[in-house]
Amino acid sequence: MAMPAVKKDYLFQTVLTFFLAAISFTMISPMIHLLAISLSEGKYVWADEVYFWPKGLNFDVYEHIWGLKSLWRSLWVTVYITVVGTLISLALSSTMAYSLSRNTMKGRKLILQAVLLTFIIPIPLIPSYLTVRYFGMVNTLWALMIPGATGAFYVIIMKTFFQNISSELFDSAKLDGASEYGILWRIVLPLSKPVMATIALFHAVGQWNAYFGALIYIRDPDKRPLQIILKSLVVNTDEGALGGQGFDMALQTPEMVKAGITLFCAVPILLVYPFLQKYFVQGAMLGSLKE
């Protein structure tokens, strides 16, 4: 006897739910493991007995992290380049995408082909460094924000979204005497919150996690972002990255401090997603449509 369609659908939904729950757990399990290590006593961490639940609950690691002045300074640098860099990226990408979406722009096909070329062939490291040095941005925070501000992916997504906006709105605005800048500022951008939020999230996450640019361009320790400290601490086990405030071996192990600082670097950007979630899915879908 065949199974009713309703039961088949319920069975499929149940299996899918458990499957997605398992996949989600594999994604968050490293964070849970790090949290358990950072909240455990050192003797249990040394014995490798901590997995997904802390043993001997204590907050010594976070008290230690709270007092790291170099870490808070790097947090401010990271927040600054993330916020300002994202705003710069949105401004440049949206204006360029709007221009490329207008049929009246001369040479737009040639420019679009050039943009696509940068998407296929990345810029070599040495010419990129020479360009940054030529404009005097070495050892400045501008070097971490300007070079990657406009990406081909962002421009293409925004251009596709702008082309889906009704042309009647543009015609009506022109009849009312609006300029191209006025149309962009008063009509296009207010209607583009989903795709703008999507691009902002993509760029902010990439900016927050980036460390290679700072590794190349930044010499001043006071201008190092969080990811440089995290790399020096986790990969190279360099306690000097903490500004001379190393581990107190009587209270915590290096693994505990590394786990705590890793969470310290990851949690702030994770908290941004819930505020953009409602725009994120809608923007990703709308930006992929074509007329």
Q: Model pTM?
A: 0.80
pLDDT at 161 over 90: no
> How many whole angstroms separate alpha carbon 129 and alpha carbon 145?
14
Please name the fold of domain 65-286: MetI-like fold (1.10.3720)
Residue spans per domain, the chain: 5-58, 65-286
257: part of which helix (H) or strand (E)? helix 254-270
pLDDT digits (tens, 9 = 90+) for 69-80: 888 888 899 999
CB 234 within 8 A of CB 168: no
- The 10s digit of each residue's pLDDT in 6-41 is 676 778 888 889 998 999 888 888 888 888 888 887
57 close to 40: Cβ distance less than 8 angstroms: yes
